[in-house]
Structure 1
Amino acid sequence: MINVKKMTLGALALLLVLLTIPVAAIAAPAATDTKIDAVLTTDVSTSMNESDVNKVSYEAMKMFVDMASVSGDKIGVVAYTDQILREKALLKIGSAEDKQNLKTFIDQLTRGPYTDIAVGLDEAVKVLESGSEKDHVPMIVLLTDGNNSLNPSKTQEQSDKVLSAAIQKAKDKGYPVYTIGLNADGKLNKDKLQKISDETGGKLFVTSTADKLPQILSEIYASHLKLRVVPLNGFTANGQFQDVAVNIPNGSVLEANISIMSSQPVEVKLVDPAGKEQNIPSDKIVYTSSSAYSLIKILNPTQGDWTLKVKGVPQEKIDINLVYNYDLQVVMDPLVSKTYKAGDGVSIKAHLESGGQKAADAELYKDAKAALIVTDTDTNKTSEVPLKISDKGIEGSWKVADAHSYELKVKVENTNFSRESRPVVLNAKGGSAAAPAPGGDQGKEGTNWVTTGSWIAGLLVLVIGALFALAYWKKANKGFFGQVVLEIKDEETGERTNPQYKKLNAFKGKVQLHQLLSLAPEFAETKGIVFKPGPGDTLIMYNQSDCTIEKGGRVFDASQGKEVKKNDRIRITLQNVNKSISLEYLK
């Protein structure tokens, strides 16, 4: 039941809070580091058994997962041939367990015949559409080792049609696609991959060997977040600990990712700027390793010169790279004037912010370059105007050339990062520059408390009514999370269908198993098996059918409702046909 007293008190509290918070404070965006929504889309055709014998592509994807932020990023995985073999919806990372969940999923990928890039890209776009967050930066990584190899039942024309639609949708949604061509046999269709990247705002990477994939994935991660990959001194191992200098340039570094690429295991030690050896791992240092790489993530590292000590197998070549993740933004000051015309000079000022505060660290500005990016939106031409930058800020000027509309952004970059401010629109056609709306007149007249009191009372009634309506609506329309994988087994022949991945977020409140089975008439008895959203992204399963349900080999009584958790596997034996259904719940 709904607690009316609690809801009313809550509404009063909420209203008082809203009335005492300045409007600007409500509207101000939180100053946090950038989070990503990434879908790793990989070709798992059988040709990869030759081009990627040691499954280095899997290791590269796992390293991408390890480089992701310790909390907040979302990553999904799509494995394709000429169909989707496995898929994992976007998983929000909140712990080391979440990252391990993703890496375990990647390790379990299998390979199959045929290749159709269109299938992989189309599904990756759908995964982002269904799970990306508004303030996150979306991206798709698409890996293939060659040309399409289609099932005889499908034509190239059909594939091209799906691919064109997927590219257009990615472009419309703002999903850049970073394509990777593993050109082991020299027959890669680079033009197709180039087209995908160019039209969506991504970038093409080509390599003749799978050994370069971890390096490429780290470059993609850095490039997408406007960061730089800093190569450190690699070496040929001699069986002893060898020192590598690691410089943390300033106090605004949130995470320092040190990737060590080696086909043989390595031992590592880490010494901070004070000369103290650090425990690996610890609450400030995350360490992960695999057969192709080791990765050290230092959280909020102390500024200064650290020392990385690496011991490798003698004669083994070891490459080491560093990627910093910054809590850093460029903020452009409001333009001085509201109106401009051709020939006017425009004064530009900006500054760096870290943690929501103006950055005072002089090291951030050292060796940095700043420029004003000017896009004439009438002609689509873009130009750059150098700006002066110092620890006092960023400043300069620009002259309006024509009576056009313009988009202005300030860019700051150095060897470690690249950042751009939010765009400002300037209309030199007799209009005005985009700027915060001026506040209303204050203090000219006394407050009309009768009018204000009536307004507050009316608003309170609306708030309480809305809360009641919202509570009932949410109960009936609670959304689902994740997806289920369905396989149907013919108990007479033992044959199984290919896994069917069914996203649940298209349903609200409840869904019948029969709906997930595309309402096939032979499975009509599954109408009595219903799923509802449960607490903590679980499912509640209700069985009002004659079907037998098993979990872990034991009969699963769901007549009154039973919880289904992430990675639970359920077996449903049908009564009207000699078939069974395997169901796995994935996030």
Structure 2
Amino acid sequence: MRHMKKILTVLLAAVMLICMSVSAVWAEGEEVAQQTTADNMSFDVIFAIDGSGSMKKSDALKLRLTAGRLFTEMTYSNTSRAGFVQFTNIIMDSQGLTDLSTEDSKASFRDRLSGLQDSVKGSWDTDISLGLTQALNLLKEGDSFNGDRNPMIILLSDGNTDLPNGPRTVEESNAELTGTLSEAASLGVPIYSIGLNYDGKLDVDYMQNIANQTGGAFYNITTATDFNKYMTDIFGNVADGDLTGLNPAYIDGRFVTDFVIDNGSVLMANIVILTDKGVSDPQLIDPTGAVVPLDADHGVIVSTDTSDENKVSTYTILKIMYPVQGAWKVSVKGEADDAVQVNLLTTYDISFKLLNSRDPIAGNDINIYGKLVRGDENITDSNLLSGAMAICTIMDNKGNIVGENLPMTYNEEKHVFICKTNLEKSGNYYVTAHLEGKDGSFSKEAAQYQLSIGRAKLTVSGRPDVSMWCNPIKTKASVDISQHVKSESLAELNCSIEDNGNNIVTADYNKDTGMLNITPLRTGTGYLKLIFSDAYGQSAELTVFVTVKSSWIWFIVAFAILAVIVALIAGIMKATKPVLKDSVTVELSLPPMLANLTPSPATLAMPAKKSEVILGKLIQGDTFAQSTLGNPIMQAGLTTLVNKIKLVACKGGTVTVKILPKTPGMIMINNQNVDNAKGISYPMNKGDRIAIQFSTDGNSISTVTLQLGGEGGWDGNPEPYPNPWDNSPSDNPFGNDNFGSPFGGGGVGNFGDPFGGNTGNSGNPFGGAGGSYGSQPGGSNMGGFDGGQPGNNSADDFGTGNMAGNPNDFGNPSQDDFGSANDNAGENNNFDFGGNSSDNGFGGFI
């Protein structure tokens, strides 16, 4: 008996939901007429009932047939119809759509369902496709698709397609099923599949697929505890009502149940009482405490199950039409140990209606309004509207979705839901909307609404001004037409372009990008006239003014800017570039044959504010230096050299002496050979000296000595001379010897000593080796030798060695009164007039 009540509960709820569901109705050219729940119960239902032998076990009490009878009890509209088909692997029985508008017709249909029997041969074969195809045919035969009815199929089965005995294969049946489901979906026929899955062998995927493909729902019935779970889900997704499980209390032999009608928009409250042992004597008390007579005159209809297969009434239904808001009470007599269940199914006398703002135009903002109504009255009940959510979907006239699940915002002041959108093209659109009450208390589908969008007027605005450049460089320009032309679709506009006759530009319009592209031809001013037209005969003109300028101005400006930049850079470089500041002393040392031309050193001031100078030009520019050095330089063949020597200022007051590349002749600096091809740079600090040896033939060597900064005596040193007789190596006015004797001293004197000295560059006409006039290899009138034998390493009265190179009477390796021994023969002792490695009044050497 509990199985009976469990199945009965599910089937009852499913049938009630289906009976209350609302289908959309299409309309052309205007808003679809809205229907209340009562108006929309003109439904056509076909029950596809599995009659195979397995159902004797799954549904021994034939509760699937009871579902059909419940359906007839739940009908409210006088225009509802029902039919059935019973199948195994063949059609066992069927009845087309039957009018349920009278009690007699309802009783007749109930009797037909009650008389159905399962397969007498015990066939366990099942061909679900066969039953569904026949059910769909019955709907078509009953003209269920004329636009104002709600066709549906309810499939009740405990298994899947199984055809061991034919007459066709499972594959053939499944192929037919695919076509049947596709046709049902296209006709808008949902199939609600109810699976009796008590043995766990139901092909759930198979049954689920049937419901999914047609927009129906699948209910997998396994245990009684599934009831609330599935009912909540069903009402949330399919029904326009609310199912609530109530808790009856057993008091004084009666099951007493309280329930609440929480708003005034309920069309019908169905009190469904399920029982195992049967109940009787139903009573109903309204919110005022008054007992309500149970008759149609007072808006209450009572139905009970009195089928032959059930010895007791398995259900009692109280249908209360338009119940007032408030707390109600219902009670029935029954046995205390009966498992009575009471459920409240409410359906609402409300509908969700769609409207739109007046005269919507393509491209403009459009408001789509949704409001909850009862008849022509707007519902403002906060109990219903508070927390409700609404969405809408928009399709074009080809069925393409242009906006899906668009949110509709609730306006509390006007009690409407608003969707703000924008449609770019004119034409007819179709809007559907869904409203969900708070916590799923109810749901409403708005009937499809036709939204007619008017054509946007073709207009132009603004005056584009375009400035361009031409000759020698051309710059193209583009105008975004969408900023100046308003139309339903720029891509569909035709555009012709007229020139004012100046022919200073060419232009073309790109429909895809909406851009006007302009190319300059020559300088000047003019305008373009653009004439736009659409497919609706509208046209508009847009004038574009054009100025084309010569781009030479930019070249001039750029050149001027570049010149300024170069001048600035040059100025900065010049301001920061090192300049020559110090003087330079130039001294010449000539070969013996030109010794008589040897000039005095000349100190030259280097040119102020210049960073470099050629030595030759520096000499030429100084009158004294030119008169002093000019002729010796020319005679010694040094002209090329001095014109290849460049003095370059460096940071920190230093100077670099550069011997320019490819200077002809042999060049040495401080006795170091120079690569003529590459030249050389030699840095000098203030006070430094550099000796540049030069020869054109490799034999006659001339020397140009440079000293940076200051003037000196014979040695060119700028230092003061506090003590002319001291032993400094550089402060002797007559010779730069190691010991500073004014009239003598040995070697390394740079300029020699007028009366003696060794290895002086200029020598001494009266004696001493290494001088120009008295040294080896050059001879002297008074001493030395011109060549030949080197003579003994001794000196005579007047010098060293004679012409023949033989030692004289006084030339032995010792010192006498008037001479000094040479380097190799001298003694380390001193005499009156000479000595070795010591100072003497008239001579001496190292």
Does the aligned pair in 2 maintain the 1:74–1:92 contact within 8 Å? yes
In 2: Cα distance, 1:119 partner to 1:48 partner: 17
Q: Which residue in 1 is equivalent to 2:334? A: 312
Amino acid in structure 1 at the alignment position of 2:260 = N
Q: Which moved more, 1:67-76 or 1:35-44?
A: 67-76
Q: Does the 8 A contact of 1:83 with 1:116 survive in 2?
A: yes
State which structure, 1 or 2, has the greater radius of gyration over its C-alpha atoms: 2
Contact 2:394 2:431 (C-alpha < 8 Å) held by counterparts: yes
Three-state SS of the structure 2 residue aligned to 1:175 is: coil
Q: CA deviation at 1:234?
A: 3.1
Q: Of residues 79, 84, 90 in structure 2, which corresponds to 1:77?
A: 84
Q: Distance in 1 between matches of 2:228 and 2:73?
A: 13
Identity %, equivalent residues: 26
Instruction: Report the Cα offset of residue 378 of structure 1.
Output: 4.4
- Confirm or deny: 8 A CA contact 1:329 1:421 kept in the other structure: yes
Q: CA deviation at 1:292?
A: 2.8
The SS at the match of 1:422 is: strand
Deviation string for 1:192-231 (max 9, x for gaps)?
Answer: 111111111111110125x689989988996797323421
- 1:153-164, aligned counterparts within 5 Å? 153-164=167-178
Asked if the contact 2:356–2:366 (Cα under 8 Å) also holds between the matched residues in 1, the reply is: no
1:335-414 aligned at under 5 Å gives the runs 335-341=357-363, 345-355=365-375, 357-360=376-379, 362=381, 365-367=384-386, 369-375=388-394, 378=400, 382-388=404-410, 390=412, 392-400=414-422, 407-414=430-437
Q: Secondary structure at the match of 1:294?
A: strand
Question: Could you say which residue in structure 2 is the equivalent of 1:33?
Answer: 39
1:124 aligned counterpart, secondary structure: helix
**1:315–1:431 Cα change, 3 Å:** farther
Where structure 2 has 5 or more consecutive residues not aligned to the other structure, the ranges are 1-28, 306-312, 458-846
1:321 partnered with 2:343: yes
**Two-structure CA RMSD over aligned residues (Å):** 3.6
* C-alpha separation in 2, matches of 1:403 and 1:203: 37
Q: Deviations over 1:469-499 (max 9, x none)?
A: xxxxxxxxxxxxxxxxxxxxxxxxxxxxxxx
More helix by percentage: 1
- Identify if the C-alpha distance between structure 1 residues 366 and 99 changes in structure 2 by more than 3 Å, giving closer, same or farther: same
Distance in 2 of aligned mates of 1:412 and 1:122 = 34
CA distance in 1, matches of 2:196, 2:268: 30
1:301-339: CA deviation from partner (whole Å, max 9, x where unpaired) = 233222111333223222222222333222212333422
Note if contact 1:345-1:397 (Cα within 8 Å) is conserved in structure 2. no
The superposition leaves residues 352-411 of structure 1 with CA deviations (integer Å, 9 ceiling, x where unpaired) of 3323x1234626744351413235664677324142155843133434498899753343
Cα pair 2:391 2:435 within 8 Å, conserved: no
* Aligned pairs (5 A) from 1:13-412: 33-35=39-41, 36-69=43-76, 71-112=78-119, 113=123, 114-131=125-142, 132=144, 134-150=147-163, 151-208=165-222, 226-235=239-248, 240-267=253-280, 268-283=282-297, 284-290=299-305, 291-341=313-363, 345-355=365-375, 357-360=376-379, 362=381, 365-367=384-386, 369-375=388-394, 378=400, 382-388=404-410, 390=412, 392-400=414-422, 407-412=430-435
Q: 1:184 deviation in Å?
A: 1.7
Q: Aligned equivalents of 2:64 and 2:356: distance in 1?
A: 47
Q: 1:389 to 1:82 in 2, by over 3 A?
A: farther
2: distance between equivalents of 1:302 and 1:371?
27
* Residues 421/316 of structure 1: CA separation in 2 closer, same or farther (3 Å cut): same
Distance 1:162 1:394, change over 3 A: same
The number of equivalent residue pairs is 405
Contact persistence 1:412–1:420 (CA under 8 A): yes
2-structure distance, mates of 1:431, 1:155: 60
**Structure 2 residue corresponding to 1:417, chosen from 435, 439, 442:** 442
Q: Distance in 2 between matches of 1:74 and 1:315?
A: 39
8 Å CA contact 1:56–1:292 kept in 2: the answer is no
Of structures 1 and 2, the one scoring higher in RCO (CA 8 A, sep 6+) is: 1
Kindly provide the amino acid, as one letter, of the partner of residue 188 in structure 1. Answer: L
Aligned to 2:630: none
Equivalent position SS for 1:39 = strand
- Output one character per residue of 1:402-450: Cα deviation in whole Å (capped at 9) or x when no partner: 8899753343332543222233466999779xxxxxxxxxxxxxxxxxx
TM-score, normalized by length of structure 1?
Answer: 0.61
Equivalent residue runs for 1:508-587 within 5 Å: none
Contact 1:237–1:317 (8 Å) recurs in 2? no
Partner residue of 2:616? none
User: In the alignment, is the contact (CA less than 8 A) between 1:261 and 1:319 conserved in 2?
Assistant: yes
Q: Which moved more, 1:179-188 or 1:330-339?
A: 330-339
User: d(CA) in 2 for partners of 1:239 and 1:45?
Assistant: 46
Q: In structure 2, the residue corresponding to 1:232 is in which secondary structure?
A: strand
CA displacement at 1:29 relative to structure 2: 7.1
Look up the equivalent residue of 2:371 and give its one-letter code: H
Please say if residues 349 and 393 of structure 1, whose CA atoms lie closer than 8 Å, have aligned partners that are also in contact. Answer: no
Q: Structure 1, residues 126-181: CA drift from partner, whole Å, max 9, x if none?
A: 11112125312111111110122323332112211221221111111110101111
Distance 1:223 1:58 in 2: 26
Q: Which amino acid aligns with 2:407?
A: V
**Distance in 2, Cα, partners of 1:188 & 1:26:** 45
Give TM-score scaled by structure 2 length. Answer: 0.44
**CA 1:55/1:216 → structure 2, altered by over 3 Å: closer, same or farther?**
farther
